[in-house]
Copies of this chain bind each other. A is one copy, B any other.
Amino acid sequence: MPYYIGDVIRQSEELVARTPEKFGESGITISLNTTVESVDYDKGLLKTAAGETIGYDHLVIATGTNAIRPDIPGIDRDGVFVLKNLTDGIAVKKWVEDNHCRRAVVVGAGFVAMELAEAFRTRDMDTTVVYRGTRPIKRWDKALTDIVTEELEKNGVIFVTGTSPRAVEESGDGLRLVTDNGDFDADVIVFGLGVKPETSIARDIGLEMGTSGAIKVNFSQRTSREEIFAVGDCAEAFHRIRREWVHIPLGDTANKQGRIVGCIIGGAPRVFQGVVGAQSFKFFGLEIAATGIDEAEAVACGYHPESHVTKGTFRTPSMQGRARMSIKLTADRATGRLLGAQAVSNIGAVGRINILSACLWSEMTLDQIGYLDFAYSPPFGGAWDIVHRAAQGLQRKL
């Protein structure tokens, strides 16, 4: 009989309360707000903090990640947040509403930080993004992040670069973020500095960790103990382009790994065939997406990367006009294989990156991608799609 335990589904409490029959019928026992204190893997027993003992044949660890919280004075003040899960999101929203916040400071410039900046601006709050680097979403090429920087400006987000936080202090009736580059007053401060895998239970058990710091698994999501699986953000996944195990915590990967383990425990053989690194986010009017690896990763793997940025306009699916898109491809000079792609557009970037993810999955070369057979029709695009043009443009440089 399946048994779910722990912190990780605390967010589901309301869902379970609203639809108990759904969970009752399925024969699943759910223990929310329950912490695992220890695991006796020789006997196949869990002990909870409340002293309960639960036996298992298969144990699935899905403990996710924790948001990185910098170790600076004042980090625990009221009004200072990280954003990792739904609970965090609700807490930020409640604070903003209860305190009628007018000024927000976001620390970091990854995609969670960007989404936060949009959320605050959508509430008409003065929003400042403080970042130690120089460009937002630095994984993307400068030619593409310039478009993101424009979008930040266009939407009135103040973007402060080369600036690291030192402390959070009180200031009048609000807060002050003290940095190495001046102070920033705010009513709410959120740190969007990334995440670390939550592996404490796994380490207690003595499971092997990957070089990424996440739990090492094989293609069946089994850890170094056969009867213990790990899935989702706490576990590694095989990167099909890098050909190594990586930690890229994303919701769709977690869904897939969970399903694979469900099949295996249920008796159906399955393997999780890995990821290619596809990801996306929405930022005001932009679709921003990427897949595969960038030049630095390619060099580290021993590939010989060459890249090219293609700009184009194309008709939108709804024929409401023409959209701009910039797309960057990276390929290996030795083999002509696509290694990665990045795209920014008003509309269509995610769709193109999904096509290119399918191409990466099966190790397609630029001369194949440049002549792929798409479902062409004038209302939906040109006879040559921007994907074709990008592949041919890069191929000319190889």
Residues in B with CB closer than 8 Å to A361 are: 362, 364, 368, 372-373
Is A291 in contact with chain B by the CB < 8 A criterion?
A: yes
Q: How far is the CB of A233 from chain B (nearest CB, A)?
A: 13
**Which residue of B255, B280, B290, B384 is within 8 Å of A383 (Cβ)?**
B255
Q: In the bound complex, how far is the Cα of B251 from the Cα of A385, in angstroms?
A: 13
Q: Mark A267-284, 1 if CB is under 8 A from B, else 0.
A: 000101111111111100
Where the two chains meet, the residues of A that have a C-beta atom closer than 8 Å to any C-beta of B are 240, 250-256, 260, 270, 272-282, 287, 289-291, 317-319, 347-348, 350-351, 353-355, 357-359, 361-364, 367-368, 371-377, 379-381, 383-385
Asked if A251 and B376 make an inter-chain contact with CB atoms under 8 angstroms apart, the answer reads: yes
Q: Please indicate the chain B residues that have their CB under 8 angstroms from the CB of A276 in the complex.
A: 373
- Which of B240, B255, B287, B373 is close to A357, meaning CB atoms less than 8 Å apart? B373
Residue numbers in B under 8 Å from A291 (CB-CB): 373, 375
Contacts of A383 in B (CB 8 A): 251-252, 254-255
Contact between B282 and A376, CB atoms less than 8 A apart:
no
Beyond contacts A251-B383, A260-B371: 10 other A-B pairs, Cβ-Cβ < 8 A, are A252-B373, A275-B373, A278-B373, A278-B376, A279-B375, A353-B375, A354-B355, A354-B385, A359-B362, A361-B373
Does the CB pair A377–B277 fall under 8 Å?
no
